[in-house]
Amino acid sequence: MRFTRMTAGFASAVVCAASLVAASPAQGSAQASAKAAPVSPASKLDSTVLSTYAQGGTANVWVRMAAKADLSGAKKIKDRTARGRTVMNDLKSEADRSQSPVQKVLKAAGLTGRTYWATNAIYVPGLPESVARKIAAMQGVAEIRQSRTFQLPKPMPSKATAHSAANELPWGLTDIKADQVWSQTGRRGEGVVVASVDSGVQYDHPALVRQYRGNNGDGTFTNDYNWFDPAGICKEVAPCDNNEHGTHTMGTMVGDDGKGTQVGVAPGAKWIAAKGCETSGCSDTSLLASLQWMLAPTDHDNQNPDPAKRPDIVNNSWGSQPSNDPMFEDVQLAWAAAGIMGVWANGNDGPNCETSGAPGSRTVNYSVGAYGSDHKIASFSSRGPGQDGEVKPNLSAPGVAVRSSVPGGKYAELDGTSMATPHVAGAVALLWSARPEYQRDLAKTRELLNISAIDTPDTQCGGTPANNNVYGEGRLDALALVTMGTAGLGTLSGTVTDATTKQPMAGATVHAEGPMDRTFTTGADGKFTFRVSAGDYKLTTTAFGFQTGTATVTLSKDGSLTQNVSLTPAQRVNVTGKVTDGSGKGGGLPAKIVANDGDGHTWTTTASDDGAYTLPLVPNLSYKLTFTSTAPGYDPATREIKLGEAAQTLDVGLTVRLACDAKGYQVKRDGSVEAFGTGRLPKGWKVTNVDPRIPHYSYQPGWVFNDPGKRGNHTGGSGTFAVVDSLHTGAGHVQDTYLTSPSYNLSKRTKATIEFSNDLKPAINSTTSADVSLDGGRTWTNVWTAKGFPGATGPATQVIPIPQANGKSDVRYRLHYRGQLSGWWAVDDAFAGDRTCVVANS
């Protein structure tokens, strides 16, 4: 149970405690008569219970039933009292039916089980192992888990500097504009009852006594149906708080002493409370009893439950350490069926991602993160995502240096998502007070909270700028919430298209300005959708290179409106020219031309067969143009231009690429060729095998010339060839081998190149490269390394320009292979000298 910025021990404990009675909707059918899949009796006893029994004695356990009441029809009941009573009766009826066989077994054993109808479970103190195993074997029993109680640390005071004086409104109230709601609507939560499951409340605190529903107004108090202390901790039958946390959270919801000290968001609302945590800890029995009591409050003897007296909103400033476990989820679903709005703290385990705690992390619950007066997320505020990737928290509220009431009639500033959560509970009270039609409509209330929140981008834990796992939907805005609830919601949508092409436009920005300001960027389909407050809106649509589009629309309450937008291209300036062969043959070339302004905008056109092109561009920008021939064999070219408001001409000649495979061209070589035609190491060449010195491995002869693996010449050459055949050598041998050429005098060369035909069968653990030396082999520079796997086998030609060798008199090159049982590399017709690409027959 995370109450403030406190030690993790208790929070961790409550994860375990809560799991004793956790129930996911997926664990049982919504129909009361549904049967669970067969489960072995032994597997129904959790490991903690078995460990307790192994030590002898008895165990305090929960017996959880599999059956679930069908509450789906409750939300259709308009009468508040009838709706609450239906939920209670259906839950109790199913609990009575399904628990009866277990109760009979317990009675026969002389034991008493305490029924909990909200979660369909029985608490049994002192259950012997023999009886536990008998119950586990019964049909309809889902599991048996041990009960636990855990320590409750004291809340920690805020370390932040005080933000407001005693006679001022706390900063959080003005930040969410609660005071503006009071002044503009005249409503401060009247007609709404809020509650808390917490450490209790000092009921006679000056800021809280007037709002206590049990206050009769004549100096007397009626605590029946207004206060629940399941463990009997308070000395009097009246609300108390031995921890200060519950008094603080209640103060943030409704606190106002009537004499100028206001700390509550909705001081006109009434409050009731249940003490879910005892003196030194929180037991799962007290927690669950408190959650159940909210569905149907009872008198001080916990008798005569009355759903009509249930609260409208329940604040839950507690939760587990990071977890998506379904803590008491069946009770939370029952709250929703009865129309009770539960609000949950998201946890204090930030700043890391995936630190949201249950129950807040669950999809069915609405959770709250915390931020400070600087509108920055609190470092401790837990981040999502939550269950199944759900964005968590749902939104954020003031949670740093929050001044509120504490026991002893005093006030204090505390930190925590615990402090943020009652701001949201109070804001819902303001909404339901000003617009009663939203009471018990949880779906619309959550939607209003989401849409009215102030977008606060922070995608470090995922999500979008408008809805992320740090702030959720954004920061709480109570005034926007109530204003939007008054005006109602509507849906405004449409599609942005190019007026010329009639095609949808991606990347267009649509801004809606009116009762709410919202911005949407279209995707590939050009569509936009706003779910906003009803009213008059001005739509402004912009897209780079297009004229701005505007429209005025009126969106009705609960209505839908489609407003399509067609944008006209802005003024264009033509860049024209011709793409030609620039390597000697001349003539035009068909090509693709792409212009990029460096800001993510591109324009594309094509040059005709004669190379002519026209590219309309936005004026007064700089562009990088890329010209790519659609006829094979040419390297692309880039040009940069600065375009003003006048047309420009840009002609580009493309050169034939190194492979010299363009139509009408042939290779011209002037140099030395080694054909490896003798079947042995040629004169002047050298093979160097490197011993890798790896234990239990030895190198084998590397480059050879007699085709030991019988591969055949697939290099594109003929006859014998040079090869290093790692695959033929066999496992257990590493080959690290160089084939080094003789010295070549390239002092008169201007197009120095090495070239060879090859057949390469590489492997993931082999390397293949070529190096060049300009100083007779003293130093070497890598000029080529084979890339990719598995690569391509021959015949293939590798051409490697070595311009650094132009004019040098002592040039050597070497071919390097290293591998182990990893393919082969065959080389033939190795050339060194000038290599050019010339027009055929010239």
Q: Does 418 qualify as catalytic in the annotation?
A: yes
Neighbour count for residue 638 (Cβ, 10 Å): 12
Q: Cβ distance 230 to 198 under 8 Å?
A: no
| CA pair distance 470, 457, nearest whole angstrom | 9
* Residue linked to tokens 């998506």: 324
Q: How far is CA 336 from CA 192, 419, 442, 693, in A?
A: 16, 23, 7, 73
Contacts of 38 (CB under 8 A, 6+ apart): none
Question: How many angstroms separate the CA atoms of 834 and 729, rounded?
Answer: 37
Q: Is 834 helix (H, G, I), strand (E, B) or coil?
A: strand
Q: Is the domain defined by 171-483 classed in CATH 1.10.540.10?
A: no
Which amino acid appears at position 508 of this protein?
A
Q: Which class in CATH covers the domain with range 665-839?
A: mainly beta
**Of the options 3.40.120.10, 2.60.40.1120, 3.20.20.10, 2.60.40.1730, the CATH number for the domain spanning 573-654:** 2.60.40.1120
Backbone angles phi, psi at 285, to 5 degrees: -65, -40
Residues of the chain with pLDDT under 70: 1-38, 150-156, 160-167, 280, 692-698, 730-732, 788-792, 842
Q: Give the chain's length.
A: 842
Is the distance from CB of 202 to CB of 247 less than 8 angstroms?
yes
Q: Which of 199, 381, 404, 418 is catalytic?
A: 418
CB of 270 closer than 8 Å to CB of 214: no
Topology match between the domains 488-566 and 665-839:
no
Residue 752, strand partner residues: 834
229 is catalytic: no
**What is d(CA 229, CA 299) in angstroms, rounded to the nearest whole number?**
11
Cα dihedral across residues 179, 314, 482, 522: positive or negative = positive
Q: Where are the beta strands (DSSP E) in 556-664?
A: 560-562, 565-567, 573-581, 591-596, 602-607, 612-617, 621-629, 637-643, 648-649, 652-654
The structure tokens listed for 671 are: 């140099």
Token reading at 34: 């549904």
Q: Show the tokens assigned to 835.
A: 């290599």
- Rounded to whole angstroms, the Cα distance separating 351 from 372 reads 14
The residue ranges of every structural domain in the chain are 21-147, 171-483, 488-566, 573-654, 665-839
Is 733 noted as a catalytic residue in this protein?
no
| Phi, psi dihedrals of residue 762, rounded to the nearest 5° | -85, 175
Within its chain, how far is the Cα of 244 from the centroid?
Answer: 35
As beta bridge partners, residue 781 has 772
| Ramachandran class of 573: left when φ > 0, alpha when ψ lies in -120 to 50, beta otherwise | beta
Could you give the CA distance from residue 453 to residue 468 in angstroms, rounded to a whole number?
Answer: 12
Give 21's contacts (C-beta < 8 A, 6+ positions apart): 62, 64, 116, 119, 121, 145, 284, 288, 328
Give the active site residue among 19, 90, 164, 198: 198
Instruction: Give me the pLDDT at residue 728, please.
Output: 87
How far from 335 is each of 2, 149, 224, 590, CA to CA, in Å? 21, 24, 21, 71
Choosing from 163, 245, 423, 816, the catalytic residue is 245
Q: Counting beta carbons within 10 angstroms of the beta carbon of residue 500, is it exposed (0 to 12), middle (13 to 18) or buried (19 or more)? A: exposed
CB burial of residue 110 (10 Å; 0-12, 13-18, 19+): exposed
Pairwise CA distance, residues 166 & 411, whole Å = 8
Q: Which of 344, 324, 512 is nearest to 3 (CA)?
A: 344
pTM comes to 0.72
b/e code 111-146 from CB counts within 10 Å (16+ = b): bebeebbbbbbbbbeebebebbeebbeeebbbbbbb
> What tokens appear for 704 in the block?
């050879």
Distances (CA, A) of 345 to 118, 152, 158, 316, 583: 22, 17, 17, 6, 72
Largest CA distance in the chain: 120
- The CATH topology of domain 488-566 is Immunoglobulin-like (2.60.40)
What gap in Å lies between CA 377 and CA 356, rounded to an integer? 14
* Full DSSP string of 643-692: E-SS-EE--EEEPBPTT--STTEEEEEEEEEE--TTSSPPTT-EEEE---
Give the number of other Cβ atoms within 10 Å of residue 678's Cβ.
11
Q: How far apart are CA 313 and CA 252, in angstroms?
A: 14
| Closest to 533 in 3D by CA, of 477, 489, 481 | 489
DSSP state of 448: H
What string of H, E and C letters represents the secondary structure of 416-450?
CHHHHHHHHHHHHHHHHHHCHHHCCCHHHHHHHHH
Tokens of 103: 């109760």
Within 10 angstroms of residue 429's Cβ, the number of other Cβ atoms is 33
Token pair 């007397």 in the structure block, residue: 220
Tokens for 327, please give them.
């803590």
Tell me how far apart the alpha carbons of residues 145 and 136 are, in angstroms, rounded to a whole number.
11
- Which segments of 56-198 does DSSP mark as H helices, in order? 80-108, 129-136, 171-175, 178-185
Structure token digits, residue 633: 């064999």
Task: Tell me the β-bridge partners of 404.
Answer: 412
How far lies 706's CA from each of 677, 717, 837, in Å? Answer: 10, 15, 33
Give ∠ CA 671-584-649 in degrees, rounded to 5. 140
